[in-house]
């Protein structure tokens, strides 16, 4: 039995169909970049624009890392859940280390995720 995948929000994604690249040209909606300074989501959009040089049909794996950093920020700043001081330090340390990653795939090799990944050698899936 295979895996069934559903894309629930394609808004900021891009896909190469083999015939064409489908994407949303974020430059056509400049308001997305005008959010308040310090707002984590607005800052992430602005960083994406820098990485992509406003070329939204290209492949820029680094933008996925920006969203991982955004998620870490949300966990640290906006979400309440039981966590220790070590948990917070680990998340802050992960966020810093993500600065040196160029893709989400590369980020997953970080020690932070080592206990979360399951290796299935027979299938080639990690």
Would 72 be classed as within a structural domain? Answer: yes
- Residue 7 in domain: no
Inside any domain, residue 78: yes
Q: Is residue 8 part of a domain?
A: no
In a domain, 22, yes or no: yes
CB 103 within 8 A of CB 64: yes
Considering the domain boundaries, does residue 119 fall inside one?
Answer: no
Inter-helix orientation angle 62-77/40-52, to 10° = 170
Look up the CATH number of the domain holding residue 109.
1.10.510.10
pLDDT of residue 36: 94
Instruction: Say how many domains are in the chain.
Output: 1
Is residue 69 assigned to a domain?
Answer: yes
**How many helical (H) and strand (E) elements, i.e. helices and strands, does the chain have?**
4, 2
Say what the pLDDT of residue 65 is.
Answer: 96
Say if 121 falls within a structural domain.
Answer: no
**Residue 3, pLDDT score:** 55
Give Rg (Cα) of the chain: 17
- Domain range for 39 is 14-113
Give the whole-angstrom CA distance, residue 20 versus residue 114: 36
Mean pLDDT of each 10-residue bin along the chain, 126 residues long: 60 86 91 92 95 93 94 88 88 96 93 76 54
């Amino acid at each position: 039995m295979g895996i069934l995948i559903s894309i629930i929000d394609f808004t900021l994604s891009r896909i190469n169909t083999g015939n064409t690249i489908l994407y949303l040209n974020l430059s056509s909606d400049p308001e997305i970049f005008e959010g308040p300074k310090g707002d984590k989501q607005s800052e992430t959009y602005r960083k994406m624009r820098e990485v992509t040089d406003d070329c939204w049909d290209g492949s820029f794996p680094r933008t996925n890392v920006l969203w991982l950093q955004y998620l870490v920020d949300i966990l640290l700043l906006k979400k309440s859940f039981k966590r220790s001081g070590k948990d917070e330090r680990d998340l802050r340390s992960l966020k810093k280390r993500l600065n040196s990653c160029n893709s989400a795939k590369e980020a997953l090799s970080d020690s932070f995720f080592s206990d979360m990944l399951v290796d299935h050698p027979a299938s080639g899936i990690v």
